[in-house]
Structure 1
């Protein structure tokens, strides 16, 4: 139990910074030196307006010294502006430059020191308050496509949490705007860290069937009610995945086979099947519960779309079966609706 608690504390969420660290640092340094350069150039061309307490002529080294001391402090008094023009320049140009340079230095210190502490604290707060998010375990080909499809369908990337052990995969997920966490999703602590019990769905695509099934088993034990979808590559393992607790088992090879087989029986069958599955299609499949106004009516009479199936007490009934002649409370309807209506629903 102690090792599990320690493991739990080692998992931290993170999100991509909007500006790369190196670009932010270069921009700040360039801006600071640019403003100092302006002050240096004006002081050099107007060096006759400066006087040293020793009475010696003003050299370039003296101008450089005076500029840096004036920009970073209020000066030491060994070199002072004596003409009205030089004093006005120091008042209305050098003083604002001094303030801006200090703000840049303070902002840089915050961004590269304090901000790390702040971001870690903010991620911990987000981690504690995760709710209604989608957890994606595995950011390979299928996992990345699932994340991209969720975003295309209007999901906020901040509501997607990706778990993976690959640093490159996590960087790619961060690039999509998702919240990421490095970890092994087969471990209780990793799934607890992303609040699997508060998630709206879990998508499992670990790349290996045995790993994916183990993730499903772990997640189902921690959250008996979370909807779990898993990618299984071997048909022999599909039943095992269902037994492990997966609600939806998807076999990419089988789905591709369906499209290929459908294309041999009609030129537009495969196109329509892909149209239903993709966010860019003209129509979409929609799952919802029956409304109070629809209770007692036929599945064929619903007005929101074309009713295809109903799920009642764990059983599935097609639109042609007698059970579809009368909808009852608690039925789940599968319908085909226009794509625009899908995202408005």
Structure 2
């Protein structure tokens, strides 16, 4: 486990803006130009209602000057509207245009000058209030697939926090709508900044077994009761990952081997196993606590799905075992239910 010095870098969350900066700037510039163009056109066609103090005829250059000055300020008085029609136009059209243009200018200044400060403050507030979220340490192949599956299952992308040191991986995670944080997940400060102690679960997929196990050790120290799932590549390291504190250890190669081996015993076995594991299938595996009205009944009698196994304390019992004939309070049921 890594500890951090007092002068270590502060870890900050961030989320990708949904609107590209260039698009927002272009739209605002076009709106401002369109409003100014309307004022310019009307002033030109109604130039007879304007008069210069010098008495000279009003030219297009004078109209352009008068429009820009009137839209951006209240005017200098060297060119004035003299007819009722010109005055009403300046009152009810040019004045609102002036306000809109100033609002556009102020909004643009906010977005491109003040928004960075605002975003840092906003994300710090989110960081302090973050709770019941899922932390994903490592956004490689397995981590990205886990995030995609969580989103497909209905998880709010903003409640998924991806921790990684690679800028490219974080950009990809941001494009999914997740909250990201650049940092080393083996360090206490990084996991504490991700509010791990308030999280719902931790998924570890660092790409290297030693790094993943170190993350599990660090996380278990911060959150002793947090459910931790970890991807381990080598079968020799699975027991070590369990000893480090992982609740679930997944070996992608072993799982692929199970599917391949199952396919040799029937064309549909592997398909059904994949169907159970994925959110896009017709059925899904679900884990839940036994309901009060189910206590005392057999596992086969539950009405919500097809019960496969129960977990009672540190023991598990399958549907054919005698212990499954009577459900008890506190039992955890693993069942197969139709996908909704």
Deviation of 1:324 after TM superposition, in Å, equals 2.0
The separation in 2 between residues aligned to 1:257 and 1:60, in whole angstroms, is 80
Q: In the TM superposition, what are the counterparts of 1:107-186 in structure 2 within 5 Å?
A: 107-186=107-186
Count of residues in correspondence between the two structures = 339
- Distance in 1, Cα, partners of 2:168 & 2:321: 50
SS across alignment from 2:146: helix
Partner of 1:194: 194
Q: Using the alignment, how far apart are the partners of 1:171 and 1:215 within structure 2?
A: 22
Which blocks of at least 5 consecutive residues in structure 2 are unaligned?
A: none
Give the TM-score, by structure 2 length. 0.94
**Deviation digits for residues 73-99 of structure 1 (CA, Å, limit 9, x no counterpart):** 110101112233322222222111111
Residue equivalent to 2:92: 92
Per the normalisation by structure 1, the TM-score is 0.93
1:78-130: CA deviation from partner (whole Å, max 9, x where unpaired): 11122333222222221111111011112222222333222221211111111
The Cα shift of 1:5 comes to 4.2
- Whether contact under 8 Å (1:4, 1:189) holds in the other structure is no
Match of 1:321 in 2: 321
Question: What whole-Å deviation, never above 9, does each CA across 1:234-261 have from its counterpart, x for those lacking one?
Answer: 2121111111111111111111111111
SS at match of 1:207: coil
> 1:142-195: per-residue Cα shift (whole Å, max 9, x none)?
111111111111111121111111222222222222111111111100100011
Alignment-derived partner of residue 15 in structure 1: 15
Taking a change above 3 Å as real, the CA distance of residues 3 and 339 of structure 1, as seen in their structure-2 partners, is closer
Partner residue, 2:213: 213
Residues of 2 paired with 1:98 and 1:293: CA distance?
68
Partners of 1:296 and 1:4 in 2: CA distance = 55
- Shift of the alpha carbon at 1:43? 2.0
- Tell me the CA shift for residue 208 of structure 1: 1.5
Report if the CA contact (8 A) 2:50-2:79 is conserved. Answer: yes
Match of 2:331 in 1: 331
SS in 1 for 2:224: coil
Q: Greater CA deviation, 233-242 or 285-294?
A: 285-294
CA distance in 1, matches of 2:7, 2:226: 25
Match of 1:274 in 2: 274
CA distance in 2, matches of 1:83, 1:291: 81
Residues 3-39 of structure 1: CA deviation (Å, up to 9, x unaligned): 54443x6111111212111111111111111111221
SS across alignment from 2:135: strand
Residues 5 and 189, structure 1, Cα contact 8 Å, conserved in 2:
no
Residue in 1 that maps onto 2:260: 260
8 A contact 2:4–2:188 mirrored in 1:
no
SS class of match (1:274): helix
SS state of the match for residue 17, structure 1? coil
> What is the alpha-carbon distance in structure 1 between the residues aligned to residue 55 and residue 4 of structure 2?
73
Q: Provide the rounded CA distance (Å) in 2 between the counterparts of 1:41 and 1:2.
A: 67
Instruction: Report the 3-state secondary structure (helix = DSSP H, G, I; strand = E; otherwise coil) of the residue aligned with 1:336.
Output: strand
8 A Cα contact 2:4 2:189, kept in partner: no
Instruction: Identify the residue that residue 309 of structure 1 maps to in structure 2.
Output: 309
What corresponds to 2:65 in structure 1?
65
1:240 and 2:231 are equivalent in the alignment: no
Q: Deviations over 1:196-241 (max 9, x none)?
A: 0111100111111111111111101111100001111121211111
Find the counterpart in structure 2 of residue 80 from structure 1: 80
Q: Please give the alpha-carbon distance, in whole angstroms, between the structure 2 residues aligned to 1:193 and 1:276.
A: 35
Aligned counterparts, 1:10-49, within 5 A: 10-49=10-49
